[in-house]
């Protein structure tokens, strides 16, 4: 048989009831001796991913079998924690002494030790599957005979021991960056090595994000040398055997501040009334050969990172903003997906071709929207480009309606727009408007990704897919508890159709009609598993498609670059023997796992970056009163989002001093034991800002009605920023 994750998982599900050795699996599957090593590596990899559970050396069982659960650890400030299961549903409570060596954010396997109808089921961590990170920042404390790092983060409760030799030349109280190399066992402290003493600019919170999450600030000299050797313009020999599409009316639509343009669009009318839409994607693979220094560095980075404090590209500027970028007026190499649509937006046929294009115009989203709205623009493009823009807008709307009818979920989640001063200080944080121009680009990128995925699925080579698993059936009840808290008419029917994307799409549409779309989207998306990269195609639930990949951003995502290489093999009909295919499948599986991990790490860094900028912005408002809404309820408190600004904070149960509050999961609320007072999901309430710490990103509120005396009186009466901004437009929920 051909080794694969799906086949191996199916074997465990159907044939294995307890721990089994690798040799037993190889014998049962009829594998040759030469295939044993590959099977052993694959089973180790699946154990690292949490699919299998390693009982002892070379002995495995299926994870989450019986009384085990896998998920991410979320620690509370008092030291205990919760496991947020990968499969959704109720969180598992973990006492501090049952956390083992797990840190906040780690993905773990845990044993269920107590199930309760009243509170959260209880679990104990068995092993850590993946570390969220291994670098920590804190203050050096020298003690008699040893030294430790006291981490600066409130959710890191263990000091980190530093070997005597590491700390000998350091001073007590210095801020350090430390990397853990031994996590210890049970309740023993981890061991770390000192990477850097943080002083001056390096001690700033924004810099610390780069350090903690191992985000590379510079490219190695050997990579920069190789990037400088890449041609600056397209050469005649580069366009041999490519389709010449330079005559098309192509243009880019990107954010105003964008420097790299990896996708362009075109459209033209065809005889008979149909239209041909072109999705032209920068052919980065032509300039980044497999195994080159550029390739190895891009593989290590995984993707470009966009923080409030910094931009970390996947590729050097010579490529990302130069020869690979679809700059208007310049010839550029592309992989073009040509899509034939009828006047109703129905897909009739598609072609994928290596091409050379020349973008005519560079739109930003706001400019494109103004032109779509019919507003006159001083830099208005030629009439042919204008006509193409309006035609693409009409076709994208028809495509989107068809996709919605198939069940695609359109999450109503806001993105922050940070308005900064000339000095980089945040002046306001509001909701970024979602424009028709955004939807236009999104629709055709999704269509191109689907077409490429289906082409790869027919190829003889393994492929890289973007997968999104359906929510586990038992999570529907948990979702409905929360949705009904918002409004009794919001629920997913308990039927076979409840596990189809259309059921989720309908409930979000209904919530939007009631003005609750944002909260309903949050509830649903939190119940879902994360989208991942995989060589096994299981479809994409959120997009309601059976086959999907990432192809349209090769400048910014390494999996897209891989897809381009695999697609080229498919287009020329390249073949490979079985051993080569098995090796390629194994290599691609490892890259998929790494890229998924890097993506999740980057998301954590971006969340922390958002928290820091929000805390900087809110710092001057400490003691002031705001209107907010409860967006999530946990045993230890509830999250809130302000209405005036797109800022999120937390109300910890310790601040609810008028009663003892407990979580009522069925009501999705915290309920006071004596008073019966509830803090419910979706509830609007007045909040007083107690703390906004720009160093940690921590923003704490207290309900105004519980303690009005906590309002801080400012010593100097002066016009506040909110008064200055009175009358300005804000994007309210």
How far apart are alpha carbons 288 and 324 in whole angstroms? 10
> Which backbone phi and psi does 174 adopt, to 5 degrees?
-70, 150
Number of domains present in the structure of the chain:
6
Q: Strand 669-672's sheet: what is its strand order?
A: 661-664, 669-672, 678-680
Q: Which tens digits make up the pLDDT trace of 501-544?
A: 999 999 999 999 999 999 999 988 888 888 989 888 989 999 99
Helix/strand/coil (H, E, C) string of 302-333? CECEECCCCEECCCCHHHHHHHCCCCCCCEEE
- Residue the block writes with tokens 């203050």: 139
pLDDT at 452: 98
Beta bridge partners of 226: none
Specify the 3-state DSSP secondary structure of 495.
coil
Buried-exposed string 203-213: b where 16+ CB fall within 10 A, e elsewhere: eebbbbbbbbb
pLDDT at 2: 53
Q: Are residues 277 and 311 in the same domain?
A: yes
pTM: 0.83
Q: Is residue 377 part of a domain?
A: yes
Q: Are residues 528 and 415 in the same domain?
A: no
Token pair listed for 677: 């007072």
Q: What is the CA radius of gyration of the chain?
A: 27
Buried-exposed string 129-140: b where 16+ CB fall within 10 A, e elsewhere: bbbbbebbbbeb
Q: Is residue 581 part of a domain?
A: yes
Q: Are residues 302 and 431 in the same domain?
A: yes
How far apart are alpha carbons 694 and 341 in whole angstroms? 51
Q: Are residues 562 and 648 in the same domain?
A: no
What is the CATH classification number for the domain harbouring 74?
2.40.50.140
Question: Do residues 176 and 140 touch, judged by C-beta distance below 8 A?
Answer: yes
Q: Is residue 214 part of a domain?
A: no
Specify the 3-state DSSP secondary structure of 731.
coil
Crossing angle of helices 365-372 and 383-406, in 10° steps, is: 90
Q: Is residue 124 part of a domain?
A: yes
How far apart are alpha carbons 110 and 244 in whole angstroms? 57
DSSP annotation of 16: -
Q: Is residue 733 part of a domain?
A: no
Question: Do residues 81 and 114 touch, judged by C-beta distance below 8 A?
Answer: no
Q: Is residue 223 part of a domain?
A: no
Nearest to 176 by CA among 223, 221, 139: 139
How far apart are alpha carbons 100 and 103 in whole angstroms? 9
Strands 251-254 and 107-114, sheet pairing: unpaired
Token pair listed for 178: 């430390």
Q: Is residue 614 part of a domain?
A: no
How far apart are alpha carbons 605 and 361 in whole angstroms? 34
Q: Which tens digits make up the pLDDT trace of 140-182?
A: 998 877 899 999 887 888 899 998 888 888 889 999 999 999 9
Give the torsion through C-alpha atoms of 562, 567, 573, 577, to 10 deg. Answer: 30
pLDDT at 321: 96
Mean pLDDT by 10 residues, the chain (733 residues): 67 73 85 79 76 73 69 80 73 86 86 72 86 90 87 85 85 92 82 91 86 90 97 95 96 93 97 96 97 96 92 96 97 98 96 97 95 83 93 97 91 87 90 93 97 94 91 77 90 75 91 92 86 90 95 97 96 83 83 88 91 95 95 90 95 88 84 90 94 92 71 37 36 26
Nearest to 634 by CA among 658, 669, 584, 605: 669
How far apart are alpha carbons 191 and 229 in whole angstroms? 43
- Rounded to 5°, the CA angle 471-70-189 comes to 145
Cβ-in-10-Å burial (0-12, 13-18, 19+) of 573 comes to: exposed
DSSP annotation of 517: H
Domain boundary among 603, 632, 658: 603
Q: Which tens digits make up the pLDDT trace of 301-312?
A: 999 999 998 899
Q: Which residues contact 157 (CB under 8 A, 6 or more apart)?
A: 75, 79, 96
Token pair listed for 678: 């509830």
Q: Are residues 493 and 531 in the same domain?
A: yes
DSSP annotation of 716: S
Q: Give the chain's length.
A: 733
> Which backbone phi and psi does 339 adopt, to 5 degrees?
-115, 120
Q: Measured between alpha carbons, how far is residue 382 from residues 219, 249, 266 in Å?
A: 40, 10, 14
pLDDT at 116: 64
Domain boundary among 37, 62, 87: 62
Q: What sign has the CA pseudo-torsion 445, 529, 517, 621?
A: negative
Q: Which residues contact 218 (CB under 8 A, 6 or more apart)?
A: none
How far apart are alpha carbons 209 and 640 in whole angstroms? 24
Q: Are residues 56 and 73 in the same domain?
A: no
pLDDT at 725: 38
Q: Which residues contact 352 (CB under 8 A, 6 or more apart)?
A: 335, 336, 337, 338, 451, 452, 455, 567, 571
Q: Are residues 45 and 108 in the same domain?
A: no
Q: Is residue 210 part of a domain?
A: no
pLDDT at 25: 87
How far apart are alpha carbons 127 and 109 in whole angstroms? 5
Cβ-in-10-Å burial (0-12, 13-18, 19+) of 340 comes to: middle
Q: What's the half-sphere exposure (Cβ side, CA atoms, 13 Å) at 46?
A: 28
Q: Are residues 288 and 192 in the same domain?
A: no
Q: Which tens digits make up the pLDDT trace of 450-484?
A: 999 999 999 988 899 999 988 876 678 778 888 98
How far apart are alpha carbons 441 and 587 in whole angstroms? 32
User: H/E element holding 519?
Assistant: helix 517-527
Longest dimension (CA), the chain: 86
How far apart are alpha carbons 667 and 485 in whole angstroms? 6
The residue segments making up the domain with residue 36 are 5-62
Token pair listed for 644: 């005036």
Q: Which residues contact 78 (CB under 8 A, 6 or more apart)?
A: 636
Question: Do residues 490 and 511 touch, judged by C-beta distance below 8 A?
Answer: yes
Q: Count the helix, strand and coil residues of the chain and give each as a percent rounded to the nearest 5.
A: 35, 25, 40
How far apart are alpha carbons 357 and 279 in whole angstroms? 11
Q: Are residues 534 and 683 in the same domain?
A: no
pLDDT at 119: 62
Q: Which residues contact 328 (CB under 8 A, 6 or more apart)?
A: 251, 252, 359, 360, 361, 362
Q: Are residues 714 and 588 in the same domain?
A: no
Beta bridge partners of 336: 280, 353
Q: Are residues 661 and 551 in the same domain?
A: no
Domain boundary among 445, 471, 503: 445
Token pair listed for 452: 């490429």
- Ordered alpha helix ranges (H), 572-619: 578-618
Cβ-in-10-Å burial (0-12, 13-18, 19+) of 436 comes to: middle
Question: Do residues 319 and 555 touch, judged by C-beta distance below 8 A?
Answer: yes
Nearest to 30 by CA among 62, 5, 3: 3
Q: Are residues 104 and 58 in the same domain?
A: no
Beta bridge partners of 369: none
Extended strands (E) in 1-75: 20-21, 52-56, 59-62, 68-75
Strands 251-254 and 361-364, sheet pairing: parallel
pLDDT at 62: 74
Q: Measured between alpha carbons, how far is residue 310 from residues 173, 432, 437 in Å?
A: 28, 20, 26
How far apart are alpha carbons 473 and 564 in whole angstroms? 35
Beta bridge partners of 151: 138
Specify the 3-state DSSP secondary structure of 72.
strand
């Amino acid at each position: 048989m051909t080794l694969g994750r799906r086949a191996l998982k199916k074997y465990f599900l159907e044939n294995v009831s307890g721990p089994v050795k690798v040799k037993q699996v190889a014998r049962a599957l009829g594998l040759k001796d030469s295939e044993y090593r590959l099977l052993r590596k694959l089973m180790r990899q699946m154990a690292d991913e949490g699919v299998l559970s390693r009982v002892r050396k070379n002995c495995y069982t299926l994870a989450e079998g019986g009384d085990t659960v896998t998920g991410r650890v979320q620690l509370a400030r008092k030291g205990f924690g919760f496991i947020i299961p990968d499969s959704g549903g109720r969180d598992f409570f973990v006492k501090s002494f049952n956390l083992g060596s797990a840190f906040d954010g780690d993905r773990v396997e845990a044993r269920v030790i107590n199930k309760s109808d009243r509170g959260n089921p209880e679990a104990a961590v068995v092993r850590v599957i993946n570390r969220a990170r291994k670098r920590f920042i804190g203050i050096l404390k020298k003690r008699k005979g040893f030294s430790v790092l006291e981490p600066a983060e409130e959710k890191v409760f263990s000091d980190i021991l530093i070997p005597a030799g590491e700390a000998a030349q350091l001073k007590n109280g210095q801020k350090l960056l430390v990397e853990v190399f031994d996590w210890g066992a049970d309740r023993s402290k981890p061991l770390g090595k000192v990477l850097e003493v943080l002083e001056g600019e390096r001690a700033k919170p924004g810099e610390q994000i780069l350090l903690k999450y191992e985000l590379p600030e510079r490219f190695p000299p050997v990579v920069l040398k190789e990037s400088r050797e890449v041609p600056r313009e397209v050469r005649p020999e580069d366009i041999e055997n490519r389709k010449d599409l330079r005559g098309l009316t192509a243009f880019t639509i990107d954010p105003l501040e964008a420097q790299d343009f990896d996708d362009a669009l075109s459209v033209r009318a065809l005889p008979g009334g149909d239209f041909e839409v072109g999705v032209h994607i920068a052919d980065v693979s032509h300039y980044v050969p497999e195994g080159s220094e550029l390739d190895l560095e891009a593989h290590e980075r995984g993707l470009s990172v966009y923080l409030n404090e910094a931009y970390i590209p996947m590729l050097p500027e010579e490529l990302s903003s130069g020869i690979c970028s679809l700059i208007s007026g310049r010839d550029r190499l592309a992989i073009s997906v040509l899509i034939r649509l009828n006047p109703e937006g129905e897909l009739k046929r598609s072609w994928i071709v290596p091409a050379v294009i020349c973008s005519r115009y560079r739109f930003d989203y706001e400019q494109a929207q103004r032109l779509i709205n019919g507003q006159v623009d001083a830099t208005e493009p030629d009439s042919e480009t204008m006509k193409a823009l309006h035609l693409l807008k009409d076709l994208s709307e028809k495509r989107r309606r068809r996709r919605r009818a198939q069940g695609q979920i359109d999450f109503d989640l806001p993105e922050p727009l940070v308005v900064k001063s000339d000095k980089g200080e945040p002046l306001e944080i509001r909701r970024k408007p979602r424009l028709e121009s955004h939807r236009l680009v999104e629709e055709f990128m999704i269509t191109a990704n689907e077409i490429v995925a289906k082409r790869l699925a027919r190829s003889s080579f393994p492929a890289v897919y973007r997968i999104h698993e359906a929510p586990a059936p038992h999570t529907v009840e948990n979702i409905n508890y929360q949705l009904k808290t918002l409004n009794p008419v919001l629920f997913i029917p308990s039927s076979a159709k409840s596990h189809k994307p259309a059921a989720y799409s309908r409930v979000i549409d209904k919530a939007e009609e009631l003005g609750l779309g944002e909260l309903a989207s949050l509830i649903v998306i939190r119940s879902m598993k994360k989208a991942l990269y995989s060589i096994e195609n299981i479809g994409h639930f959120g997009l309601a498609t059976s086959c999907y990949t990432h192809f349209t951003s090769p400048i910014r995502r390494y999996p897209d670059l891989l897809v381009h290489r695999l697609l080229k093999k498919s287009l020329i009909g390249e073949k490979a023997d079985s051993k080569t295919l098995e090796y390629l499948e194994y290599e691609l599986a490892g890259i998929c796992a790494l890229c998924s991990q890097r993506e999740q790490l980057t998301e954590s860094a971006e969340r922390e970056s958002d928290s820091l900028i929000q805390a900087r912005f809110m710092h001057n408002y400490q003691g002031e009163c705001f209107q907010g809404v409860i967006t999530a309820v946990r045993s230890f408190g509830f999250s809130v989002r302000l209405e005036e600004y797109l800022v999120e904070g937390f109300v910890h149960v310790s601040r609810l001093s008028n009663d003892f509050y407990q979580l009522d999961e069925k009501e999705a609320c915290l309920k006071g034991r004596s008073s019966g007072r509830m803090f419910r999901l979706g509830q609007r309430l007045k909040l007083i800002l107690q703390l906004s710490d720009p160093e940690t990103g921590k923003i704490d509120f207290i309900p105004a009605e519980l303690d009005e005396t906590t309002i801080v009186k400012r010593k100097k009466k002066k016009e506040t920023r909110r008064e200055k901004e009175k009358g300005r437009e804000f994007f309210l929920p």
